[in-house]
Chain A
Amino acid sequence: MNFPILSSLILLPTIGALFIFFVRSSNSQYQSSKYVALFITLANFFLSLYLWIVFDKSIVDFQFVEEREWISGFVNYKVGVDGISILFILLTTFITPICVITVNATIKNRLKDFLIAILILETFMIGVFCSLDLVVFYLFFEAGLIPMFLIIGIWGGERRVYSAFKFFLYTLLGSVLMLVAIISIYWITGTTDVIKLYELGIDAKYQNLLWLAFFSSFAVKTPMWPVHTWLPDAHVEAPTAGSVLLAAILLKMAGYGFIRFSLGLFPDASLYFVPLIYTLSLIAIIYTSLVALMQEDMKKLIAYSSVAHMGFVTLGIFTLTQQGIEGSIFQMISHGLVSAALFLCVGVVYDRLHTRLINRYGGLVSIMPKYAIVFMVFTLGALGLPGTSGFIGEFLVLMGAFKKNILVATIASLGVILGAAYMLWLYKRIIFGKLINEDVKKMVDLKRFEIVTLWLLVLPIIFFGFYPEPLINSIEVSVANMIDMNDLDKINKLALGE
């Protein structure tokens, strides 16, 4: 019996949360509960790093698989990782400690409850990425709503109640059809075990409806146009740590779901719906980029840019090519780092001036030079400058798209230009220009913990920008296997009439 490393990854944050919960609260212990949370999340990070190191990247099978009877004769608790999911687990365990560090400045009341919520959320997020059973996946996927709802609602801004409700109900509404689909899959094939389903395959006549049911859930969560409207609201009202987790990880659950379930289980239907995805993705890329240009609120601008970036992700996945899918995964990881960093940057100035309106700032370069540097890196990462991780993802996605459909690829490339426009303009309006406002002049440069968190994010963005090999290496075999297994190439060629 091997050490159940994945279950420990899932359970460790919950144990930490229980520990914090049962320690009696007094003001002095608020700080210590923060250190407990930091310790737990860091331990989790190193555990997942260890997992990545011992993970054998040349094997196509799922590794570290654990299976235990759960609902007797029906559902087994089954977890395991392949090259794709392991990256998302790493991303999760990397971002969470950073969120814990930021609570210092952003969370003024009920710190203990906040830490518990974040830790519980981490459990559910890791669970989503390593579950190998549809019901277990659904459980983790939905359960994440509870802590996120509370994070937005309790610690959010002025319109927090509206945003929290919108977030919860939108996502729940999207997911209910997925539950119907999961149960239907059980009655059609007799199992909800993902590995067995990969082997068995699902009859083509059921695939389209099932695909649509899964799509309804993932499209809301991604979010794809036109069901993206909950995202700007949720982002704007959530506290910094909440926005970071939402942008960096929760959105990636849907992209991951598309790859793992939509492509993996319903290859025929995926091919059939390619035009739909192309259309929605292109609208997302162009339309939300234009909307982002018009925003006056920094968080809203970044939220809309997230929708556009996720448009690239969905586009890449449904090119059904090796490059496209790899690019999407890379783009998700990169966007996870960059958007997290951007929300942290907004958090930094928001803590000082308590406004997110762009025109209240200006000329920060002269008083906050350190801030200007890191913000510059993240801006460039977001617009995909070569040398940052953002470039690799977008480049691979576009390469995959050019292989399939030149028109689609061309329109998507326009999105890159628009992306550069809104990000650079944002940077110009905040960092450069004249220092007019008196209160802006009083702002102090980055504090030590801010420097630590932001530079922790700068490093991987630049590192993977120059040397993407470790990530690509990790996903290559799994993606190739995904394409082989479902004969996506063959289906593709048939469709193209070759």
Chain B
Amino acid sequence: MENLQLIIPELFISIMIMFLLIFGVFKKNSSQIVYNLTTLSLIAALALIINLDAQIQSSLFNNSYNIDSLARFMKILLILSGIFVMLSSSKYIQISKISKIEYPILILCSILGMMVMISSNDLIVFYMGLELQSLALYVLASFNRDNLLSTESGLKYFVLSALSSGLLLYGCSLIYGFSETTNFNQIMVNTKDIEYGLTFGIVFILVGLAFKISAVPFHMWAPDVYQGSPTSVTVFFALLPKIAALTVFIRFLYIPFYELGDQWQMIIIFLSIASMVFGAVAAIGQKNLKRLIAYSSISHMGYALAGLSTGTTQGVQSSITYITIYLVMNLAFFSCLFMLKRNDEYYESIEDLSGLSKNHPLLSLSLLVVLFSLAGIPPLAGFFAKFYIFVAVINEKMYFLAIVGLLATVIAAFYYLRIIKIIYFDPEKEKFESKHNLGLKFTLVASTFFILAYFIYPSGIVDIISQININ
């Protein structure tokens, strides 16, 4: 029973999924009610998680499920992002005619899967969570089934993701074969001497995980899926799976494979450099904002991986800080995207932003702040995110990684500046609608304010994160 008490948030969400499913089926035209109930149940789940002891450290179910400070923080981050995604995209779903009861329920399923991933301390539990998450995401990506791009993106994501899951599973089986256990802590104990099979297992698992956070060279799906999916799903893609995948990355690298640092460090450094550079270069030619933000997030994942590659607690903490700030910036960016609406149609090409600052000064100002922050220009939050990463990286004397990373920010600055140029320097176009629902406005204002005012008290988040226990 004690075990069950600690997983009340997960249990609560599972029960809500079943309840909402039954409720939605039996009550006609209930999609909006289900949507709101989903948001409410996420808020309730958030309260339940915050209610847990901050310094908690327990392993449940035969040591296969971890409830610790890392899991607690990441779950709070996950559900907070989920709430904001729900708040900001409610209007979009109605207008794009994808307001069905299944939509919020699938989101809940996927969040449940991610929570399991975050807490997993066992290969099988981890894989279960991963599949629950992915299956819900396949459906969500192709949710706008009358739209060719959306169906294409769902299918593409499904095929490629299945392939990567296969690789991941193969890696898991290799690890099991060589260590005779699926439990993370046991793997660490049993793998003192390095064998080739083990190295292969690590590589396969890393490939699978790299696919999930869209690190180069396993990024191919990201631009198409980002562009094709409905924007409300894209923002979900851009935020939540990254949190879960990064946590799993941390767990894998710092619990079972911690002793094998020499084996994986080069791989992570390569993934990191490739993502930073490729993401920055490939985004230059993009014309669609969603596609551009896909490349931008590839590049950002590169920085988060750079923090992980150091193999130190400080590095992990810098990665967690990075992902936190990344979430806020992307949330603000997508909120702006949701506001580009005219006559019930959403606009997502860069050219549509032309001269936005004349008609919508406040919206443009938010975009300006967000874009400069994404580019990592001080004094905005994005600068601090990169700053922590580089502090950790340089502490390990990995100067090459640091310099490549910083040069990539200069390249990346170019395409962010290009958007700013179009917003501020180019001739104006037709006005967009200026009436938006409260949730969307609140999301935008809160996230922009966070980015702008972060420098006043930068210690806040760092202090919280520095209390997270990694090992």
A176 touches B409 (CB 8 A): yes
Partner of B421, one of A74, A145, A165: A165
Partner of A183, one of B377, B390, B420, B462: B390
Contact with B along A133-165 (1 / 0, CB 8 A): 001001110110110011001100000110011
Partner of B410, one of A149, A176, A180: A176
Residues 165-187 of A contacting B (Cβ, < 8 Å): 165, 168-169, 172-173, 176-177, 179-180, 183-184, 186-187
Does A26 make an interface contact (CB < 8 A)?
Answer: no
A140: chain B residues within 8 A (beta carbon):
378
Closest to A181 in B: B394
Give bound CA distance, A154 to B361, whole Å: 14
A177 touches B391 (CB 8 A): no
A72 touches B462 (CB 8 A): yes
Contact with B along A16-30 (1 / 0, CB 8 A): 000000000000000
B377: chain A residues within 8 A (beta carbon):
142-143, 145-146, 172
Contact with A along B392-425 (1 / 0, CB 8 A): 0011000100110011011001100100110011
Give, as a whole number of angstroms, the nearest-CB distance from A217 to chain B.
12
B326: chain A residues within 8 A (beta carbon):
none
Give bound CA distance, A36 to B302, whole Å: 45
Give bound CA distance, A153 to B406, whole Å: 24
A177: chain B residues within 8 A (beta carbon):
403, 406
B463 touches A72 (CB 8 A): yes
Give bound CA distance, A169 to B425, whole Å: 17
Does A71 make an interface contact (CB < 8 A)?
Answer: yes
Give bound CA distance, A164 to B422, whole Å: 13
A150 touches B424 (CB 8 A): yes
User: How many A-B contacts are there with CB distance less than 8 Å?
Assistant: 83
Does A498 make an interface contact (CB < 8 A)?
Answer: no
Closest to A75 in B: B458
B439: chain A residues within 8 A (beta carbon):
none
B378: chain A residues within 8 A (beta carbon):
138-140, 142-143
A154: chain B residues within 8 A (beta carbon):
424-425
Does A69 make an interface contact (CB < 8 A)?
Answer: yes
A149: chain B residues within 8 A (beta carbon):
417, 420
A186: chain B residues within 8 A (beta carbon):
391
B425: chain A residues within 8 A (beta carbon):
153-154, 160-161, 164
B459 touches A70 (CB 8 A): yes
Does B372 make an interface contact (CB < 8 A)?
Answer: yes
Give, as a whole number of angstroms, the nearest-CB distance from A181 to chain B.
10
Give bound CA distance, A168 to B378, whole Å: 13
Q: How many residues of B contact A (CB 8 A)?
A: 31
A176 touches B379 (CB 8 A): no
Q: DSSP class of A's interface residues: helix, strand, loop or mixed?
A: helix
Closest to B421 in A: A161
Give bound CA distance, A71 to B456, whole Å: 10
A172: chain B residues within 8 A (beta carbon):
377, 409-410, 413
B413 touches A180 (CB 8 A): no
Partner of B399, one of A165, A168, A180: A180
Give bound CA distance, A140 to B377, whole Å: 10
A146: chain B residues within 8 A (beta carbon):
372, 377
B383: chain A residues within 8 A (beta carbon):
139, 142
Give bound CA distance, A150 to B410, whole Å: 18
A153: chain B residues within 8 A (beta carbon):
420-421, 424-425
Give, as a whole number of angstroms, the nearest-CB distance from B302 to chain A.
16
A113: chain B residues within 8 A (beta carbon):
361
Give bound CA distance, A149 to B372, whole Å: 11
Give bound CA distance, A187 to B392, whole Å: 10
Give bound CA distance, A302 to B12, whole Å: 71
A176: chain B residues within 8 A (beta carbon):
403, 406-407, 409-410
B390 touches A187 (CB 8 A): no
Give, as a whole number of angstroms, the nearest-CB distance from A225 to chain B.
22
Residues 54-94 of A contacting B (Cβ, < 8 Å): 69-72, 74
A173: chain B residues within 8 A (beta carbon):
407, 410
Sorted from nearest, which 3 A-B pairs have the closest CB atoms? A176-B406, A72-B459, A139-B378
| Contacts A71-B458, A183-B402, A187-B394 known; 13 new A-B pairs at CB < 8 A | A69-B459, A71-B459, A74-B391, A138-B378, A139-B383, A143-B378, A149-B420, A164-B421, A168-B413, A169-B413, A179-B387, A180-B406, A187-B395
Interchain residue pairs with CB less than 8 A apart (15): A71-B462, A72-B459, A72-B463, A140-B378, A143-B378, A150-B424, A154-B425, A165-B417, A177-B403, A179-B387, A184-B394, A184-B399, A186-B391, A187-B394, A187-B395
